[in-house]
Chain A
């Protein structure tokens, strides 16, 4: 495996991890389970995304993963804020 192919795969992994973060958010919303124990999934996604950003072969996926994870975390934070501020919702 060349360096380029390796980073391409890493980029895909970063994108996959960010999609998995989004998937977990979906599961949490449908099952009303907080998934606090899975806090490391977005973190892993962010780390992989940052590594992927360093090489041209994976930069696009790295950027995509970084944006997707950030947006997912932001959506989760807004939902959490809303639930906490509504009486009896959290």
Chain B
């Protein structure tokens, strides 16, 4: 083989080597960054904890709307961004309806954006989680027809245990969400300004596959342990109160007909209420 041919052969090899190395670098960048991004969110259950915390926040602070954990769709981008979407559900007359969607964007576990889109018109100032003040409640039944299914948030005449809530079920009333006394409710419900969201737990659905009281405490612990809380729940203080005094239910979200509400008001089982939804 003459020198010319050897040089040509070496040049050809060098050309192929350069092409292969360049293509490898170009094609490897995206999968490697994506893998690092996925590993970051999968390690220590970071992504699952973010999702669980938001689900818990809905379950514990929203008396009417619930986030369905089975509808969660998560997307992870190569640049360490996480987006998750879930359907928001509400119960009317024993039936679950999808009433909106929730979408949150995270960059390295810090929430960068949040979008809540409801399928029905909502007040422009409506926020998540809901805040209740003294001015929200009404005492009279005017403008509520007897035969209409409604959802109300009611303050009971006294505190109940979960078993004692049977007294409402006897009047054809479904208790959808129980508001738990956490020591701050007097301040919240007598104030005219937003203070803290109410805390309670859904009665008809389980969170994390567990039911009611046990699940509630677990969820509250999760919120209390959370290092980054987007809103002030005073979760640690309230958890300590509940652990000390036990779970005592002073109110709740009720699904019932107008006539049943009237009856409960007449029997003084309900002190006051806020109309959350009329039937669709």
Q: Which residues of A contact B (CB under 8 A)?
A: 8, 12, 15, 19, 22-23, 25-26, 29-30, 61, 64, 68, 72, 75-76, 78-79, 81-83, 85-89
B75 close to chain A: CB less than 8 A: yes
Smallest CB–CB gap between B82 and chain A, Å? 8
* CB pair B35 A78 closer than 8 Å: yes
Q: Are A72 and B20 in contact (CB under 8 A)?
A: no
CB distance from B148 to the nearest CB of A (A): 37
Verify if B38 is at the interface (C-beta below 8 Å from A): yes
Interchain residue pairs A-B with the least CB separation, the first 4: A82-B38, A88-B72, A82-B42, A89-B74
Known interface pairs A81-B42, A86-B42, A86-B48. Does A26 touch B31 (Cβ–Cβ under 8 Å)? yes
Whether A29 and B34, one on each chain, are in contact in the complex, defined by CB atoms closer than 8 angstroms, is yes
Instruction: Tell which of B20, B34, B38, B39 touches A19, judged by Cβ atoms closer than 8 Å.
Output: B20
A76 to chain B, nearest CB (A): 8
Are A86 and B24 CB-contacts (below 8 A) given A29-B31, A75-B32, A79-B31?
no
Cα(A8)–Cα(B117), bound, Å: 60
Count residues of chain B with CB under 8 A from any CB of chain A: 30
Closest residue of chain B to A74, judged by CB?
B35
Contacts of A87 in B (CB 8 A): 47-48, 51, 69, 72, 74
Closest to A29 in B: B34
Cα distance, A68 to B28, chains bound together (Å): 10
Measured in the bound complex, the distance between the Cα atoms of B9 and A8 in whole Å is 11
Listed residue (B23, B27, B32, B69) with the most chain A CB atoms within 10 angstroms of its CB: B27
Chain A residue nearest in CB terms to B41 = A86
* Closest chain B residue, CB of each to CB of A19: B23
A contact residues around B72 at 8 Å (CB): 87-88
Q: Are B30's CB and A29's CB within 8 A?
A: yes
CA distance A23 to B41 in the complex (A): 24
